[in-house]
């Protein structure tokens, strides 16, 4: 059951630089581990993460197997207007999850 945790300030002053913290639950199987029988466990990772602020992309990341399980990513943005942040995670085996958060800018 995928679940996202998003931390965005509820309110901010116009022009403030705010921190956005995101976490998506995901195994991030590297594809380099093998079972005792020698079989390789196939790769299953999130390959791409992006964030849009009122429709405009403000942050994007390409992820590799070297990103730890349950990818936790934080970044900054300038609060320009009230609205919503949309987050997208895309990965192997058709993984695709979204989450949103809203902010009031005064």
The answer to whether 45 touches 91, Cβ cutoff 8 Å, is yes
Q: Is 59 in the site for other proteins (CB under 8 A)?
A: yes
Which of 76, 81, 88 has its CA nearest to residue 103?
81
Q: Is 78 in the site for other proteins (CB under 8 A)?
A: yes
**In the complex, minimum distance from the CB of residue 67 to other proteins, in angstroms, rounded to a whole number:** 6
**In the complex, minimum distance from the CB of residue 19 to other proteins, in angstroms, rounded to a whole number:** 8
Report the residue count for the chain.
106
Nearer to other proteins by Cβ, of 27 and 104: the residue is 27
Q: Is 7 in the site for other proteins (CB under 8 A)?
A: no
Which of 88, 46, 51 has its CA nearest to residue 67?
46
Q: Is 77 in the site for other proteins (CB under 8 A)?
A: yes
Tally of CA atoms within 13 A in the half-sphere of 39 that contains its CB? 4
Tokens of 95: 């993984």
Give the footprint of other proteins on this chain (CB under 8 A): 17-18, 30, 32-36, 38, 41, 53, 58-69, 71-78, 80
């Amino acid at each position: 059951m995928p679940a996202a945790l998003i931390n965005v300030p509820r309110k901010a002053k116009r022009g403030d630089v705010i921190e956005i913290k995101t976490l998506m639950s995901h195994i991030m199987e590297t594809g380099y581990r093998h079972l005792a029988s020698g079989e390789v466990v196939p790769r299953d990772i999130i390959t791409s993460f992006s964030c849009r602020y009122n429709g405009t992309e403000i942050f994007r990341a390409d992820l590799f197997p070297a990103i730890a399980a349950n990818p936790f990513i934080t970044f900054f943005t300038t609060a320009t207007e009230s609205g919503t942040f949309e987050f997208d995670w895309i990965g192997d085996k058709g993984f695709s999850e979204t989450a949103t958060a809203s902010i009031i800018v005064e």
